[in-house]
Copies of this chain bind each other. A is one copy, B any other.
Amino acid sequence: MSVTIKQIAEKAGVSRGTVDRVINNRGHVKPEIEERIQKIAVELGYRPNAAGKALAARKKSFIIGVILCARGNEFFDDILKGIKGAEQEASEFGIQVQVMTMKGYQVEEQLRLMDQLEEQIHFLILNPINDERIARKINDLSEKNIPVITVNTDIEGSQRLCYVGCDYLKSGRTACGILGIATDGKGQVGIAAGSVKILGHNQRIRGFFETQKNRFPDLRILDIIETEDDKETGYAQTLAMLKRHPSMDAVYIAAAAADGVCRAVADWQRQNMESPHPVKIVGSDLTPAITKLLKEEKILGTICQQPWTQGYQSVTLAVHYLVNGQKPDRQYFYMKNEIKIPENL
């Protein structure tokens, strides 16, 4: 049976209160007694009981705030589900979760939401826009004792506790690995990014190049376009790219707008009567749209990033911080890059 504070107190000949003060570094304990208690705790292998903590924590009633650029972006649905899942657990600690979503990536809007939440919350989970003003606001909150965790996208130059999300570099490498396998290392590849300015897409492309260089030297990357995460732009840009490079036989979609890209490929194949050949496509994430394309075998596979876990884990880390006062033990909580094909959906 595991060791309790009570047992330590008995063994040390002090009250439970004193042991609690020592264990949680609350001060107000005579140094020699502190030392004795520490020693006994280690000796007995004391591990705090989470259930006890949970019960005691209910008297405090903290609130965790969440801001996501999720409106009109179905990719975030799974992140939201993960947050909902953790909310149940948080409520056992008397902790509430307040989620706000915004549409698009306006810095002003995000700053406004942060200001608004500031009064009510004790912790912030943020899907940040990579802008200096946001970074400053994060630091501002941190100083006011509202720690921040970034989720899904990270931001440079801020004091966020940690980042929970995709390892975009690895995601790009994995995509290249799959296209390398599919084309016997000889693919003529085009890349469709959302915007090369978006940090994540940029890193995916870097990762793709890295693996191309190291492992598939005969694979060629012919072109990179930007879809602006928009179907129609994606369609037009992809079609133009295919016309520029008639030998292209593979496409990596490092962003949303997979529908547009796939439609362009299909149309081009229909038009390009003189030298028809298949174009192998690898996508990113697993939205309903992508699932459909997978099942219809319009794309070969897709590289996913555990969105549910991103939501769940960020809340769990916040709960752990609020209940135990413990910071996350590392800066980066990277998700797995899961490869999905029709067979293992």
Please give the residue numbers on chain A whose beta carbons come within 8 Å of chain B beta carbons, in ascending order: 1-2, 47, 49-52, 54-55, 61, 88, 91-94, 170, 173-174, 176-178, 181-182, 184, 211, 215, 297, 300-301, 303, 336-344
Contact = CB atoms under 8 A, between A and B. Distances in A.
Interface centre among A51, A297, A336 (most CB of B within 10 A): A51
B50 A170 contact: no
A176 to B, nearest CB: 7
A344 B177 contact: yes
A174 B91 contact: no
Contacts of A338: 336, 338-339, 344
A178 B93 CA distance: 45
Nearest to A51: B54
B49 A92 contact: yes
A342 B343 CA distance: 20
Nearest to A91: B2
A202 B1 CA distance: 43
A341 B51 contact: no
Total identical chains: 2
A174 B340 CA distance: 9
Contacts of A211: 343
Closest 6 A/B residue pairs (Cβ): A51-B54, A177-B343, A339-B339, A173-B343, A174-B344, A174-B343
Contact of A181 (B49, B51, B173, B301): B301
A260 to B, nearest CB: 24
Contacts of A94: 1
A343 B336 CA distance: 11
Contact of A50 (B61, B92, B337): B92
A227 to B, nearest CB: 24
Contacts of A178: 181, 341
Contact of A300 (B50, B51, B181): B181
Given A211-B343, A339-B339, A343-B173, A51 B55 contact: yes
Contacts of A336: 338, 344
A341 B61 CA distance: 45
A6 to B, nearest CB: 12
A173 B182 CA distance: 17
Contacts of A170: 343-344
Contacts of A303: 344
A51 to B, nearest CB: 4
A218 to B, nearest CB: 14
A329 to B, nearest CB: 16
A180 to B, nearest CB: 9
Contact of A341 (B93, B177, B297, B343): B177
